Amino acid sequence: MSIKSIAFSARSFAISKLAAQIECWAAGDSVENCKIIFVMPKKVIVVGAGLVGGCAALAIKKLGMEVVIYDKADVATADRNADGTVNIDFGEVGGALGIQANGLLALDRLGLLDKVLEQPHTLPDGMHYAKADGSDPVLRSMIQLGVAEKFTRPVAIMRSNLHGVIFKACQSLGIRTFISKKLVSLEQTDEQVTCNFADGSSATADYVVAADGIHSVTRQTLFPEFPKADFWVTGYLGVFDLNKEVGDEKLSIPHPVSACVDGFTGTMVFSQTLGQHRGVWTVTLDKAHSEQPAEDDLDSWRPYTNLPKESARLASLVSEWGTPQQIVSCVRHANRITPVHMYDLPNIPKYSKGRVVIVGDAAHGMLPTLGYGISQGLEDVIALSDLFEEFGEDNYKTVFTLYEKIRIPRAHKVQDDSRAISATMFSSTKFKAAVGRQIMKTVFWLSKTFRLVDPVSVYDVKADIAKVIQEQKALAANEVSG
């Protein structure tokens, strides 16, 4: 009997050996007559240890590929291992975010949603939009129709808590993370890609998945002809303790989720509860008083160290805007304030080049006015991992081409919608601002009355994945028959 060779990529030696034995037995051969050839799994570097980068690493690892994460962060709470990797925890940074139905669906498919819901969170069913002084609040329903019950309400959660869930899952699968690795350049050949870092080190892999944010060095290296992100406005993220006693009052906000907006200047104070003990707020300046940060401070998430001074300054500012004193007190007594700078990445026509693909804000960083940014990044992850699973880890050209076919039109549409909403926040006259507010109220009423479905939130990327897979198979079949 001739000796057979069996080649495959291995998730683990034990699983691979069992698979080889089964194949031998199915062919009527003894295991002794089978020559088993182990093919090493492809190695993938993920650039960026943020939310989308962590999810991308997790999804790719589950396909059996080797994954290593590199991040430029130089400040992190981490247990450093002997090989220089870390069990990473960026600590209490940033504010809260909302995950819509499409993002929740992606987290569920990654096996993360149940763990996410164990964290302090809120499941809001509506958001109040008020004038700058809190008057005339209009409720916009946030309940999504046309999806399973567990996805009908968005999940509001602290970014740091979500990050912790993702990276605990990564660590449980043995995904290594290196910090203080600032990417400076990429080098590609037909066989591999090398990442060069500012500390003089480098790392080589079969593919790179770049989730290095809206100011992505990867994107600028691959496509220097593409425009950089446009500065929008400056904002501040605050965290406070709900029901904390301050003098004769307890800190609270008028509604579980609300925004006090000046439709003429564009200033806004957003506030929200997160669980029973924590609240968050976001103060957004008008364009005239926003300052673009220095080039080396674009991605900084450093909280203010002089908290009493900054909290008093911001409380005085929003009080001048006419913000309700109930919210002003929450600003004044914040226990953390982080300045942030909001950007908009112009629509770009390519998300990959060679063996490198970009995901999340690196590909389609958008204005936060719709709150869809994180969910768009999670859709990227599902599309990329499902395509690799369907076509195999060697067939990256097909995977990246179909990934772009799915994601570019979709992301551009959401980016455009975010810009359109942000444009309504700034009016040239107070009359136009008043008209805009009336239009908003009418839209909210129509949506509630006729139970209109939000096509962005209830979108399921799996449908588009199945469509392009079917088209690709049909194309391949035609080529064979032709």
Whole-number pLDDT of residue 464? 98
Asked whether residue 366 carries a pLDDT value surpassing 90, the answer given is yes
| Average pLDDT of the residues in 96-110 | 96
Whole-number pLDDT of residue 26? 53
Q: What percent of the chain is predicted at pLDDT more than 70?
A: 87
Whole-number pLDDT of residue 292? 87
Backbone phi, psi, residue 15, to 5°: -65, -40
Whole-number pLDDT of residue 13? 42
Whole-number pLDDT of residue 74? 72
Asked whether residue 228 carries a pLDDT value surpassing 50, the answer given is yes
Asked whether residue 88 carries a pLDDT value surpassing 90, the answer given is no
Whole-number pLDDT of residue 95? 87
Asked whether residue 479 carries a pLDDT value surpassing 90, the answer given is no
Least confident of 360-364, 407-411, 429-433: 429-433
> Residue 450's pLDDT band (boundaries 50, 70, 90)?
confident
Whole-number pLDDT of residue 34? 55
Whole-number pLDDT of residue 15? 45
| Average pLDDT of the residues in 75-98 | 62
| Average pLDDT of the residues in 136-159 | 93
Whole-number pLDDT of residue 4? 40
pLDDT tens for each residue of 194-209: 999 999 999 999 999 9
Whole-number pLDDT of residue 421? 87
pLDDT averaged over every residue in the chain: 89
Asked whether residue 243 carries a pLDDT value surpassing 70, the answer given is yes
> Residue 412's pLDDT band (boundaries 50, 70, 90)?
very high
What sign results for the dihedral spanned by CA atoms 294, 298, 300, 303?
Answer: positive
Whole-number pLDDT of residue 480? 86
| Average pLDDT of the residues in 222-239 | 96
Asked whether residue 338 carries a pLDDT value surpassing 90, the answer given is yes
Asked whether residue 153 carries a pLDDT value surpassing 80, the answer given is yes
Whole-number pLDDT of residue 5? 40
Q: What percent of the chain is predicted at pLDDT more than 90?
A: 74
Asked whether residue 20 carries a pLDDT value surpassing 60, the answer given is no
Whole-number pLDDT of residue 1? 33
Pick 23 or 344 by higher pLDDT.
Answer: 344
Whole-number pLDDT of residue 90? 55
Whole-number pLDDT of residue 11? 43
Asked whether residue 433 carries a pLDDT value surpassing 50, the answer given is yes
Asked whether residue 28 carries a pLDDT value surpassing 90, the answer given is no
| Average pLDDT of the residues in 160-164 | 95
| Average pLDDT of the residues in 301-322 | 94
Asked whether residue 24 carries a pLDDT value surpassing 60, the answer given is no
